[in-house]
Amino acid sequence: MRGARGAGALLGVLLAAGLVLTGCRPSSSAEARGAGSASPTGYGAVFLDRGECSSRGRAAAFHEVACSSGAAAARVLARHSGRQSRGPLCPARTDFVLHISEHRPDADEDGDGAVPQGYACMRNLRAPHPGDPGQGGGPRTVPGDCVYLAAGLQARETPCAASGAKARHRPEYEVTATVRERPSCPPGTALYLRLPDHTTGCARRLTTA
């Protein structure tokens, strides 16, 4: 199976200064958003079910292994059927998303010879944790994350600690809260992010040296 990139949050951005609302995309790098394929070997009743663990093999190939195994690299926080774009959001602490295509192995969860298409929300068993606030990755944008404005006013996530001449993208805004309605953002909000769960991310402008 070929790997697929984890779908990132589509962000809409509106500057408090009055710029027009535009569609935005987060960073698309595999490190930031997570990507990989899952191979249906060694699974139980459900391949990579919630609470189970995977290895991280060569060429981004993942296999289900016992969580006590030395090969275990990540744990499933949530497991959903169907396409990620149409399914529930992954938990906020998700480091990356595994997309699982339909397979026809020797055994399966219901005896029909197939592992249904779906996706698993994964959390690394050891650091780094790109899904943690401020780390610049993961499939969710949460309070504590930082973003910068790319071409076309696209808000993209970047590590909050990124600084100095060698930094690829310096953070320009920090997300301070997520609210249901934009007027509920705290004072000092300079950037509004439209998040995929239909909430609004409130971001303050960071002071630049």
Strand partners, 100: 118
Q: What distance lies between CA 52 and its chain's CA centroid?
A: 19
Beta pairing, strands 53-54 & 61-65:
antiparallel
Residue carrying the six token digits 């650091």 = 127
Share of the chain above pLDDT 90, in %: 49
Q: Reduced to 3 states, what is the DSSP secondary structure of residue 85?
A: helix
pLDDT value at 197 more than 60: yes
Report residue 46 as tokens.
């459900």
Quick one: DSSP state of residue 88? P
Report whether pLDDT(2) > 50: no
Q: Which residues of 176-187 are buried (b: 16+ CB within 10 A; e: fewer)?
A: bebeeeeeebee
Q: Which residues contact 209 (CB under 8 A, 6 or more apart)?
A: none
Instruction: Say which amino acid occupies 90.
Output: C
Mean pLDDT (whole number) for 32-37 = 45
Query: CA-CA distance, 156 to 52, in Å (whole number)?
Result: 31
**pLDDT given at position 152:** 76
Q: What's the whole-number mean pLDDT along residues 156-164?
A: 83
